[in-house]
Amino acid sequence: MRPGALVYDKASGRYDIRFGLDEYYGGLHCGQCFEVFDGEQWRATRIEMNLHQKWYLVGIKTDVLDGLQVRDSRHR
């Protein structure tokens, strides 16, 4: 699994995974699963949006998603 960083795409209103300068996953959707590095280990999570239109990661306690190190099995 290839690591990348979560970035917010203002044009689409969605988060994306950035793998390089010009290489992106293609936009994340509610319920999409991946892993996030919590500083010690990789943890499985999924991205969701709450009733206030705010994105969050299930089981990950943080208010800042931008820049989190993540990996997805689509890019091996």
Structural domains of the chain in order of their starting residue, each with its CATH number: 2-72 (2.40.10.390)
> What's the average model confidence in pLDDT over 8-23?
95
What residues contact residue 72 under an 8 Å CB cut-off, 6+ apart?
A: 1, 2, 4, 17, 25, 34, 35
Say which residue, 29 or 74, is predicted with more confidence. Answer: 29
For position 72, what pLDDT does the model report?
80
What is the pTM for the complete model shown? 0.88
Model confidence band, residue 42 (pLDDT cutoffs 50, 70, 90) = very high
Q: In the prediction, which pLDDT does 2 show? A: 86
| Among candidate residues 31, 27, 22, the one with its CA nearest the CA of residue 6 | 27
For residue 73, the model assigns a pLDDT of: 57
Average pLDDT over residues 20-49: 95
What does DSSP assign to residue 52?
T
